[in-house]
Amino acid sequence: MTPSQFDADFFSKTVLVTGATGYVGGRLVPRLLAGGHRVRATGRSMRKLRGRTWANHPRVELVRADFQSPDSAQLREAIEGCSSAYYLVHSMSPEYKDFPHADRRAARNFMSAAIQANLKRIIYLGGLGMDSPELSSHLKSRAEVGRILRSGPIPTTILRSAIILGSGSASFEILRYLSERLPLMLLPPNVLNTEIQPICIRDVLTYLESCLGNEETIGEIFDIGGPDVLTYRQLFNLYAKETGLGKPLFITPGFLSDFNTGRRIVLSIARMVLPVSPAISEPLLQGARNRAVVMDDRITKIIPLNLMTCSEAIRRAIQKDSLRIVETRWSDAGQLKPPEWTHPGDAPYAGGPLLQGGFRLTLDAPSQDVWPVIACLGGKTGWYYGDFLWRVRGWMDNLAGGVGLRRGRRHPEQLLVGDALDFWRVLMVKPPRRLILLAEMRLPGEAILDIELNETRHGQTEIRLGTRFRSKGLYGLFYWYTLLPFHDLLFGGMLRAIAKRVGHDVISGPEKFKPGPLVL
C-alpha cells in the first residue's frame, strides 16, 4: 500500500498506542494529546491505565488489551476505529521466562487482529544493532518482532535505536548505578570498547510523533541516534564528569574475554548493585557486546532535529530527577495482577488459608495531615521504622533473584497505580484515604500491605495498617508464623513513627486488630 492509498483524513483519526503504561508509551501518549490527536491507549491493566496523569483527558480512550491473549475478537475490538498504531509492546520482564517467545506471540496476535480491524499503518520502536548471528537475545527479539510486523499487508515504519538516555529508563538506571556504586569496574575489554550511539528520550519521542504526520516515513526502516558515537568507556567517563563523580577505574582482565566467563561475572555483579530486575538488566547487559551505531541516517533529512548530545541528555536526566519530574520509569512496565482472592464473590477460604494481621492507632489530626507522610513511604525516605530489617529483607530478596529494595520509587511524594515502590507495587491509591501495596518480593504466597485512614467526626484519624497473606503450602504457613514477631515489631513501630512525623498527639494505640477480607 502506498501513501496515496490512505484516506485524506488519515492523520486526523484515532491513534492507537499499545504498551501505554510502559516507559516510552507512557510519555508518548501526552505528546500525541498535546499535538491534537485522539488517542486510544491500551495496556493489560485498566487499573494502571486509569492511574496515569493523562487518563481523564477528553481525547483519550482507555482500553484493556493483552496481546499475549489468543482472543482475536477482543484484540480486534481494541484496534477497530484506529488508523495508525504505535507498537510498543515488550515482554522483557520477570513474568516471562522466555521473553523472545512471548514477544513473537504478542506480535503475531497483534498483526492478526490489526489486519481484521483494517488498520492502515504501524510504527514500531525496535533495537539498533548490526545484523549478525552474534546479536544478543534482546536485539534478536527486537529484530524478529520487526520482521513479523512487516510480513503482513500493513505498512510498518520501524525506528531502531540504541541506548535511550532519559530519567527513569532502564539503560540510564544501569549507567547511573554502575557509575555511582562501582568506582572500580570489572568488565570484558570487548564490551568496554564497543561503539554505541545513544539517543535522548526527548528525541525518540519527537521522531515517533513526527513519523505519524510524515508520509515519507511510511513503510520504511530508519536508524535513529544522537550526534555522538562513543564507547562504553567514554560514556561512563562522561556520566562521571556530568555528575561530579571521580572517573571509574576499569579492570579488563583477559579471562573476561571468554564469553561464558565474562557473562557470569558481569551478571553476578549486576545482580548485587542494580535496581533493575535481572529479567531486564541481563538481556540489556548481554547486548552491550554488540556495536550499535547508525548506519543509515536518512531520517535526519526527512525529520530534521537539533539532536541532544550525550552530555546534554545526561544533564537533563539528572536535572529532571532532582526536580522530581519523572513521568515514567522502567519499573512502570509489567502487568498489575491483583490476587484472585481479592475479587468480590469469592469465599474467604478460596485459594487456601488467608492469614491476616494488623495494627491501628488513632491520631489527633485530620487525614489531610496524615496522608503526605503515608504517600512518602519507601524509596529514599524509607519505612520510618526498622529500616535495617527492611534492608535485610531486600538483600535476601536479591539473593533469591527477586527485585529487592533497589527499585525505589518513581516520585518521592506522588504515587500512581502501578508504580513500583521498593519491592511492592501500588495496587490502589486513593488520597487521602487508602494505599494498598502488592508484594513483588520472592514469597511462598501472595501478600498485600493495606494502609487505611479513617477520619472520625471529631477530626481525628484512625490509621489502620493491615497485612494479608495467602500462603502456598506448608512452607508458606511456616514463613508467616516465623516472621509474625518481626511483623508485630515493625508495624507497631511504623505507626508510632508515622504519628511522630505527623506531629500530633496519639489518642490511642498502637493496638492489634484483624483486618478482615479485602475486596478491590
Q: Are residue 165 and residue 254 in the same domain, yes or no?
A: yes
By residue range, what is the domain housing residue 314? Answer: 3-326
What HEC string does 356-376 produce?
A: EEEEEEEECCCHHHHHHHHHC
Question: What are the helix (H) ranges across 338-436?
Answer: 367-375, 387-399
Domain end point (choices 326, 354, 378): 326
Say which residues have a Cβ less than 8 Å from residue 479's Cβ, sequence separation at least 6: 443, 444, 445, 471
Give the number of other CB atoms < 10 A from CB of residue 206: 18
In the three-class reduction of DSSP (H, G, I as helix; E, B as strand; rest coil), residue 235 is classed as helix
Give the number of other CB atoms < 10 A from CB of residue 441: 18
In the three-class reduction of DSSP (H, G, I as helix; E, B as strand; rest coil), residue 406 is classed as coil
Per-residue pLDDT band at 344 (split at 50, 70, 90): very low
Q: Phi then psi for 157, rounded to 5 degrees?
A: -95, 130
**483 with 354: CB under 8 angstroms?**
no
Examine residue 333 and state whether it is found in any structural domain, yes or no: no
The number of distinct structural domains making up the chain is 2
pLDDT higher for 208 or 251?
A: 208
Highest mean pLDDT among 252-261, 285-294, 450-459: 450-459
CATH number of the domain within which 481 lies:
3.30.530.20
Q: Are residue 173 and residue 283 in the same domain, yes or no?
A: yes
Examine residue 224 and state whether it is found in any structural domain, yes or no: yes
Examine residue 486 and state whether it is found in any structural domain, yes or no: yes
Residue (of 267, 270, 277, 280) closest to 91 by Cα position: 280
Mean pLDDT of 316-329: 65
Question: In whole angstroms, what is the distance from residue 422 CA to residue 357 CA?
Answer: 21
State yes or no: pLDDT of 351 exceeds 50. no
C-alpha grid cell, residue 374: 503515608
State yes or no: pLDDT of 392 exceeds 80. yes
CATH number of the domain within which 68 lies:
3.40.50.720
Examine residue 106 and state whether it is found in any structural domain, yes or no: yes
Q: Phi then psi for 118, rounded to 5 degrees?
A: 60, 40
CA separation (Å) from 10 to 5, 78, 82, 96, 156?
A: 10, 18, 10, 36, 15
Domain end point (choices 297, 326, 355): 326
Q: Are residue 269 and residue 356 in the same domain, yes or no?
A: no
Lowest mean pLDDT among 92-96, 115-119, 222-226, 413-417: 92-96
Lowest mean pLDDT among 193-202, 270-279, 420-429, 457-466: 270-279
Residue (of 353, 226, 231) closest to 291 by Cα position: 231
Lowest mean pLDDT among 210-214, 311-315, 467-471: 467-471
DSSP state of 443: -
Q: Are residue 128 and residue 29 in the same domain, yes or no?
A: yes
Say which residues have a Cβ less than 8 Å from residue 92's Cβ, sequence separation at least 6: 99, 103, 138, 141, 279, 280, 283
Examine residue 519 and state whether it is found in any structural domain, yes or no: no
Question: In whole angstroms, what is the distance from residue 382 CA to residue 497 CA?
Answer: 11
Q: How far out from the chain centre does Cα 438 lie?
A: 15
Q: Are residue 17 and residue 147 in the same domain, yes or no?
A: yes
Q: Are residue 58 and residue 175 in the same domain, yes or no?
A: yes
Q: Are residue 302 and residue 246 in the same domain, yes or no?
A: yes
pTM: 0.74
Domain end point (choices 299, 326, 353): 326
Say which residues have a Cβ less than 8 Å from residue 355's Cβ, sequence separation at least 6: 468, 469, 470, 471, 477, 480
Question: In whole angstroms, what is the distance from residue 442 CA to residue 456 CA?
Answer: 38
pLDDT, residue 376, reads 93
Q: Are residue 309 and residue 348 in the same domain, yes or no?
A: no
Bridge partners (DSSP) listed for residue 455: 461
Question: In whole angstroms, what is the distance from residue 14 CA to residue 1 CA?
Answer: 20
What HEC string does 90-147 produce?
A: CCCCCCCCCHHHHHHHHHHHHHHHHHHCCCCEEEEEEECCCCCCCCCHHHHHHHHHHH
Q: What is the dihedral of CA 470, 437, 91, 28, to 10 degrees?
A: 160
Per-residue pLDDT band at 338 (split at 50, 70, 90): low
Examine residue 331 and state whether it is found in any structural domain, yes or no: no
Question: In whole angstroms, what is the distance from residue 470 CA to residue 355 CA?
Answer: 6
Lowest mean pLDDT among 9-13, 366-370, 475-479: 9-13
Q: Are residue 18 and residue 151 in the same domain, yes or no?
A: yes
pLDDT, residue 346, reads 46
Give me the half-sphere count of Cα atoms (radius 13 Å) on the Cβ side of residue 165. Answer: 30
What HEC string does 491-510 produce?
A: HHHHHHHHHHHHCCCEEEEE
Q: Are residue 344 and residue 301 in the same domain, yes or no?
A: no
Bridge partners (DSSP) listed for residue 61: 40
pLDDT, residue 188, reads 75
**315 with 172: CB under 8 angstroms?**
no
Question: In whole angstroms, what is the distance from residue 337 CA to residue 390 CA?
Answer: 24
pLDDT in tens, 23-78: 899 999 999 999 999 999 999 888 888 888 899 999 999 999 989 887 778 899 99
Examine residue 205 and state whether it is found in any structural domain, yes or no: yes
Say which residues have a Cβ less than 8 Å from residue 211's Cβ, sequence separation at least 6: 123, 157, 159, 217, 303
Q: How far out from the chain centre does Cα 65 lie?
A: 18
Q: Phi then psi for 235, rounded to 5 degrees?
A: -65, -45
Q: Are residue 122 and residue 51 in the same domain, yes or no?
A: yes
Angle (nearest 5°) at CA 337 between 332 and 343: 140
Peptide bond into 275 cis (omega under 30): no
Q: Are residue 178 and residue 226 in the same domain, yes or no?
A: yes
pLDDT higher for 123 or 347?
A: 123
Residue (of 385, 382, 407) closest to 397 by Cα position: 407
Residue (of 69, 73, 164) closest to 108 by Cα position: 69
Question: In whole angstroms, what is the distance from residue 304 CA to residue 207 CA?
Answer: 9
Examine residue 86 and state whether it is found in any structural domain, yes or no: yes
State yes or no: pLDDT of 464 exceeds 80. yes
